[in-house]
Amino acid sequence: MTDPTTPATPEAASESVTATHAGPTFQPTNPLALAPVKSAPSSVDGFVQEFLRELNTGQGVELSGSTVNDQYLALARTVRHDLMTHWLETSRRQDETKAKRVGYLSAEYLLGRQLDNALLATGLDDAVEKGLASCGIDLATLRAQEVEPGLGNGGLGRLAACFLDSLATMSVPCIGYGIRYEYGIFRQELVDGQQVEQLDSWLAAGGPWEFPQPEAAVQVDFGGDTEKYTDDEGVTRTRWIPAWNVLGVPYNYMVPGYQNGQVNTLRLWSAEATKALDLASFNAGDYAEAARAQTFAENITKVLYPEDSTRQGKELRLQQQYFFVACSLRDFIERMVEEGFDLRRLPERIIFQLNDTHPVIAVPELMRLLVDEYELEWDEAWEITQQCFAYTCHTLLPEALEVWPADLLGNLLPRHLEIICRINDEFLADVRAAYPGNEMRVRRMSIVTDDPDRSVGMAHLATVAGTKVNGVAELHSELLRDKVLPDFSEYWPDKFTNVTNGVTPRRFVRLANPRLSGLITEALGVGWLTDLERLQELEPYAEDPAFRQKFRDVKEANKARLYDLLRERDGIDLPEHHLLDVMVKRLHEYKRQSLKLLHIVTLYEQVISGRLAPEDVTPRTFVFGAKAAPGYSMAKQTIHLINAVGKVVNADPRVAGRLTVAFPANYNVTLAENLIPAADLSEQISLAGKEASGTGNMKLALNGALTIGTDDGANVEIRRLVGDEHFFLFGLLEPQVAELQAQGYEPSRYYEENPDLRAAIDLIASGAFADGDRSVFEPVVSNLLHEDRFLALADYQAYLDAQARVDAAYADEEQWTRSAILNVARSGYFSSDRSMRDYMSRIWGIPASS
């Protein structure tokens, strides 16, 4: 069978030899005889010719009558021609070599815009820019036309995209599997300072980077019941009799490596009804009923993470998760391995990496396929399954480790619940044998629990089934072993490992920060983009005054670019020559945006009360970027308070030129690529022991921002590598956090004992940021004083002390610049290329190139 990318392109079909359909699989009569797709020319004249042809034949317009969107779509298709040549060749090569692939299963992929990445991968950027200019078109205008895919929420999805980029760049066979959300994550608007969720219609203007493949649709079943039957050989088996089903239609995205000719595939699934229209109902005039099945099916892939406070929301989330893994497993088994392949050898061809708990339902699905459909014996199927999955845990928060009510899972996926229960029974028998008489341990390790209600723990299932379990930073992996899954790590000590996260330098240094990239290349020469540890060679340049000045010039130019963007995008005017203090991450209490806000309010209160002279305040601009989950009330109130504080502070002449607060709406990859290179200070202030890793901290350090942070997540490794003198550490350590919580944390005590903290909270409580209405932010104040789950008040004074050290350091321009250069030079470890090498050596058993 051929790789699914082969029939996905109309261009490929038009230039290939005759092909035939064989069952559900599209098979060329001779895969090697596929004629190559014509590459996009690298010459300026050749590009212009191809671009105008696409404009004429693809959009049906002449240049003189074309819109910006016409031009963007024509450009995208012209550029993708070059990628398609390599895409098809990569597919053929991987089919021929039968190389083991990575199957990356993720509910999120926060890809960012594709055009610039494609231009970088193909090396066409210079020819394209000159060619468009000869047509009177500005490349920057077409770049701005692209709407980035809204297929992720934050670090989890961006990490998945970085990993795919690195695997392609390292020529590792990989296929990413996920969901093609019609609207994805919501588009955030701020109305009177409050978050309002709007649909993110990212596909409205066309999606030139995707290739639909309806002929490869997969049927996915739900509901119903199971029954026992005896097969022709007298063996008792189980069959699932589903109540309803949908179709999963694949859409392929190309994932190019950096100028190496490798193009892997990201395969996203969209749900459609198996029967789009009930013609009888339609003819009877009941139009709503006639389209009900289609509406119901499409809901599955409508939005990312439907709000799940209701049972209906929970059921829709489980539908999403099962839908995409069922499509993906069947796709790989039926289309990615050759006809007649012995599935007992499946681990030789694939390792499925479970990106958090969302895809873990793939475990019982693979068992169902092997046992029920391919009729393997249970023990044989379980041995195969345990070699085909590895599990990455991305959290330490108990509420983020998914647990499904057993009745919900049983109603939606009855056969899968049966399989999970059998896996659990056999696993617990082994645990009892290993720890006789220790029923408490057995209960703690059980996948299925009955307290308070019968439920299924997906992290436990993934741990039992996975060949390896990894955390995503050294501290996180340690806490995962010792506190989250201690019984499992004692039972399987060799199963647990660490792979610290990383980010792709192609997007987050080369594309996001071309000025810094140019400066690095000027100093080091080429090659560092695929060997980021070479950044260490920059260390001597930190002592060079001329280089430091060039570095400062880059930072100032990046700030000017950001300010222009925010002025045009959001109507936000930011002052020049300020320390740019940045906190950009998902809004959650454990990330402690509230602590950052208390710092701002403290500075403001000290000035207006006369306790601090304005001229003694280091000029700072505070920039937040964050979305709150639609159902997360406290997070949304925190956004409201940040904006309310900003409105008052920005309008008060007493702090004019000293304090500015900005919260541009709808933080996304595109904004990150402009904001991160401009930042001076990176806020990484989560409570120690709560952040798994973080990747924003890595991106900011790589772009020359100094970090103020706790010893949490990957901050620990950043601090160790860049050096204590170039990192502003504060806050309780994880053991101290645990001790304080065990003693009984009383946040109000810190309020009573600290005059600055009391003054800041009292100012918020007074209604000063709500036109005198004390009730508006009372829930936030009450939460801080009486709950404060993540110890913001306990770390408050240490945080202010660290900020005072920031002020002192920033006052010495040369030393600050030296520290910033050393942050860049010592952060090469945080390349996602290194992360992938660690996965390959510690988990997957795949060589670096194939």
pLDDT for res 744: 96
Confidence of residue 24 (pLDDT cuts 50, 70, 90): very low
Average pLDDT estimate for 388-416: 94
Tell me the C-alpha distance between 539 and 541, whole Å.
Answer: 5
Which residues, other chains included, contact 174 with Cβ-Cβ below 8 Å and sequence gap of 6+?
Answer: 101, 102, 103, 104, 164, 167, 168, 255, 264
Tell me the C-alpha distance between 167 and 837, whole Å.
Answer: 9
pLDDT for res 40: 52
Please, what is the end-to-end C-alpha distance for the chain in angstroms? 19
What six digits make up the tokens of 542? 């930190």
Q: Is the pLDDT of residue 8 over 50?
A: no
Average pLDDT estimate for 821-843: 98
Nearest of 251, 238, 391, 264 to residue 331 by alpha carbon: 251
Confidence of residue 611 (pLDDT cuts 50, 70, 90): very high
Range of weakest confidence among 396-400, 666-670, 687-691, 815-819: 396-400
* Maximum pairwise Cα distance, the chain: 90
Q: Is the pLDDT of residue 473 over 90?
A: yes
Compute the C-alpha angle 43/44/49, nearest 5°. 100
Q: How far are the Cα atoms of 199, 584, 627 from residue 666, in angstroms, in the given order?
A: 12, 11, 7
Task: Answer for the pair 379, 371: CB distance below 8 angstroms, yes or no.
Answer: no
Confidence of residue 301 (pLDDT cuts 50, 70, 90): very high
Average pLDDT estimate for 836-840: 98
The amino acid sitting at 826 is R
Q: What's the pLDDT tens digit per position in 772-793?
A: 999 999 999 999 999 999 999 9
Range of weakest confidence among 8-22, 294-308, 512-526: 8-22
pLDDT for res 409: 98
DSSP state of 766: T
pLDDT for res 289: 75
Neighbours of 396 (CB within 10 A): 22
* Percentage of the chain modeled with pLDDT above 90: 87
Query: Which parts of 787-831 fold into alpha helices (H)?
Result: 796-810, 813-825
Tokens 């594709």, residue located: 114
pLDDT for res 293: 76
Tell me the C-alpha distance between 726 and 307, whole Å.
Answer: 41
Spell 573-588 as b/e; 16+ CB within 10 A means b: ebeeebbbbbbbbbbb
What six digits make up the tokens of 86? 């390599």
Catalytic (active-site) positions:
394, 585-586, 591, 695, 699
DSSP state of 588: -
pLDDT for res 12: 33
Average pLDDT estimate for 258-278: 92
Global pTM reads 0.93
Q: What's the pLDDT tens digit per position in 101-121?
A: 999 999 999 999 999 999 999
Average pLDDT estimate for 571-577: 97
Q: What mean pLDDT, rounded, does the chain reach?
A: 93
pLDDT for res 517: 98
Task: Answer for the pair 675, 583: CB distance below 8 angstroms, yes or no.
Answer: no
Q: Which helix (H) or strand (E) holds 245?
A: strand 244-256
DSSP letters spanning 497-556: EE----B-HIIIIIIT-HHHHHHHHHHH-S-GGG-GGGGGGGGGGGG-HHHHHHHHHHHH
Confidence of residue 286 (pLDDT cuts 50, 70, 90): confident
Q: Is the pLDDT of residue 35 over 70?
A: no
3-state secondary structure of 229: strand
Which residues, other chains included, contact 580 with Cβ-Cβ below 8 Å and sequence gap of 6+?
Answer: 559, 620, 621, 623, 678, 679, 680, 681
pLDDT for res 849: 60
Tokens 């392609």, residue located: 168
Confidence of residue 184 (pLDDT cuts 50, 70, 90): confident
DSSP state of 344: G
Average pLDDT estimate for 48-55: 96
Q: What's the pLDDT tens digit per position in 186-227?
A: 999 999 999 999 999 999 988 999 999 999 999 999 999 999
pLDDT for res 41: 59
DSSP state of 32: G
Compute the C-alpha angle 147/160/7, nearest 5°. 70
